[in-house]
């Protein structure tokens, strides 16, 4: 049963492509029915991408079904109801691809669908792949394989089991798992603590009826961002955008403001035992800095100096000088304003490692920043941001993050602002950072929580 509106109701607004030029190299084409359309134009790629992002506020109730929906949709659509038929169709489209994923940005859960294909400039006899591949992606999104008004039972049950396995598998990468767990403990009473794939118990008890209800709610009420990247004409864009009119939309939800600033009265200490021989020490901090704040740029440089590469204080002092860690780095969660210092250590070195890690924070706050640390950090940013322009996917993710932050900085503008950061700027933002939680993944010798 397709999620289509009644075209005769007359409440769908027409939209002609109207390019709203900005300081960015991405152009907003327009917005209607809670769907925002953007074009990332570039002549350097021989491919075109269509990326659809459906956003939801993170919640324990909806996270699990939201995480299952795109994988069920990917199994097929009305005209191509099996994986084999869909595969053959994609092969006809010069080997086009369909990808789905679920992840989170701050306290927003992102349901993602994508197709990538050869630009029409390079097809035989000028075949219009954009129209065909774009139509197929929309069909997968809006017209899934159903039976008696529900998703096909086999697809639902198989993908539900796959989801359970994905949730379980997050412990496989102990370093990444520890980083996630530290942030979840930091935000245990906040939406951010909800895992992007939901939880195993909810997945096991989820019914097909509940999933269909959630799918229809998602399609009808959630904000959507659509990015088209590559060489596509305005007329093709208009025709593609017009096809979204068929989706029944109304009462679009507003994404809540993400709470970033929080007073920390006491530091929590969490130990989690697991069958490991080496410990994972994570020290989580609140940066008190929003993603759209001018102070974010000094904060990014701060993170680079602290643990952003081989030049950083954590790498040189914790790993190289003291030989305490086989890995040591720091990571920022931009939207939630979290910063976590992560190290893999021998369990017996926990106290010493924590002390030396904290010494690096104190050193930056005291202005102990070398010219080399500043220059190497900035050079790393410039290299990373420039190389980002060689990937359509990376550019789309960059612009989505900018738009969700309410920022209109292009890649070149971001580079300029990072290069303008001074040592004094870094020291200033360092004084706002507050320690929140110390998380330690340890061996099966005990567990507990204490406060200091």
Q: Which fold has domain 268-451?
A: Cytochrome Bc1 Complex; Chain A, domain 1 (3.30.830)
381-420 pLDDT, tens digit each: 999 999 998 999 999 999 999 999 999 899 999 999 999 9
Contacts with 218 (C-beta within 8 Å, 6 or more apart), sequence order: 54, 56, 66, 69, 111
Name residues of the chain where pLDDT drops below 50.
5-13, 21-24, 446-451
Q: Is-contact 38 399, C-beta < 8 A?
A: yes
Q: Which of 326, 314, 310 is nearest to 356 (CA)?
A: 314
Structure-block tokens of residue 153: 């039972």
Q: How many CB atoms lie within 10 A of CB 92?
A: 12
Q: Which residues contact 338 (CB under 8 A, 6 or more apart)?
A: 183, 186, 187, 284, 285, 286, 287, 332
Q: How far apart are CA 452 and CA 228, in angstroms?
A: 51
* pLDDT for res 319: 87
Residue spans of the domains in the chain: they are: 26-246, 268-451
CA–CA distance, 121 with 127 (Å, rounded to integer)? 9
Query: Which CATH number among 3.40.50.10800, 3.40.50.2300, 3.30.830.10, 3.40.50.720 corresponds to the domain 26-246?
Result: 3.30.830.10
Going by the DSSP 8-state scheme, the letter that residue 243 receives in this structure is G
Give the up-direction half-sphere exposure of residue 17: CA atoms within 13 A in the CB hemisphere: 16
**Is the Cα torsion angle 170, 75, 226, 208 positive or negative in sign?**
negative
pLDDT digits (tens, 9 = 90+) for 440-450: 999 986 444 44
The CB density around residue 354, as the number of other CB atoms within 10 Å, is 20
CA angle 66, 72, 106 (to 5 degrees): 25
Q: What is the pTM of this model?
A: 0.92
SS (H, E, C) 346-405: CHHHHHHHHHHHHHHHHHHHCCCCCHHHHHHHHHHHHHHHHHHCCCHHHHHHHHHHHHHH
Neighbours of 193 (CB within 10 A): 15
- 26-246 and 268-451 agree in CATH topology: yes
Tokens standing for 412? 């070149």
Alpha helices in 143-207 (DSSP H): 153-169, 174-186, 200-205
- Cβ within 8 Å of residue 339, ≥6 positions away: 284, 285, 286, 287, 299, 303, 330, 331, 332, 333, 433
The per-residue pLDDT for range 204-213, each reduced to its tens digit, is: 999 999 999 9
pLDDT value at residue 16: 59
Per DSSP bridges, beta strands 434-442 and 268-273 are parallel
Residue 293, φ and ψ in degrees, nearest 5? -80, 145
């Amino acid at each position: 049963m397709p999620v289509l509106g009644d075209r005769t109701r007359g409440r769908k607004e027409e939209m002609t492509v109207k390019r709203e030029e900005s300081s960015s190299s991405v152009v907003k084409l327009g917005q209607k029915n809670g769907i925002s359309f953007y074009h990332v134009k570039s002549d350097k790629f021989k491919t075109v991408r269509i990326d659809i992002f459906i956003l939801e506020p993170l919640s324990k109730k909806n996270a699990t079904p939201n995480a299952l929906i795109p994988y069920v949709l990917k199994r097929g659509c009305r005209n191509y109801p099996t994986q084999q038929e869909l595969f053959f169709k994609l092969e006809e489209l010069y080997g086009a691809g369909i990808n789905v994923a679920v992840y989170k940005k701050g306290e927003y859960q992102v349901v993602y669908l994508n197709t990538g294909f050869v630009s029409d400039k390079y097809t035989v006899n000028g075949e219009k792949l954009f129209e065909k591949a774009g139509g197929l992606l929309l069909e997968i999104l809006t017209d899934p394989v159903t039976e008696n008004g529900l998703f096909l039972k086999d697809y639902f049950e198989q993908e539900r089991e796959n989801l359970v396995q994905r949730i379980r598998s997050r412990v496989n990468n102990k370093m990444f798992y520890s980083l996630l767990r530290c942030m979840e403990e930091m935000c245990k009473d906040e939406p951010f603590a909800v895992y992007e794939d939901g939880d195993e118990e909810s997945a096991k008890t989820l019914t097909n009826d509940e999933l269909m209800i959630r799918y229809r709610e998602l399609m009808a009420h959630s904000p959507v961002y659509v990015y088209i990247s590559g060489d596509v004409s305005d007329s093709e864009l208009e025709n593609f955008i017009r096809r979204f009119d068929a989706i029944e939309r109304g009462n679009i939800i507003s994404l809540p403001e993400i709470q970033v600033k929080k007073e920390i009265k006491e530091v929590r200490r969490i130990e989690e035992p697991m069958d490991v021989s080496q410990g994972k020490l994570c020290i989580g901090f609140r940066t008190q800095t929003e993603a759209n704040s001018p102070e974010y740029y000094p904060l990014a440089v701060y993170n680079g100096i602290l643990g952003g590469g081989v030049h950083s204080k954590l790498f040189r002092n914790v790993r190289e000088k003291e030989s305490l860690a086989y890995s040591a780095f720091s990571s920022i969660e931009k939207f939630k304003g979290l910063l976590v210092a992560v190290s893999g250590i021998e369990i017996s070195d926990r106290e010493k490692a924590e002390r030396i890690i904290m010494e690096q924070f104190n050193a930056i706050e005291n202005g102990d920043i070398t010219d080399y640390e500043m220059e190497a950090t900035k050079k790393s940013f410039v290299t990373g941001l420039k190389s980002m322009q060689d990937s359509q996917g990376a550019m789309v993710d960059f612009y989505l993050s900018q738009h969700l932050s309410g920022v209109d900085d292009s890649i070149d503008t971001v580079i300029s602002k990072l290069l303008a950061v001074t040592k004094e700027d870094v020291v200033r933002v360092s004084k706002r950072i507050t320690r929140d939680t110390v998380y330690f993944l340890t061996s099966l010798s005990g567990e507990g929580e204490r406060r200091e």
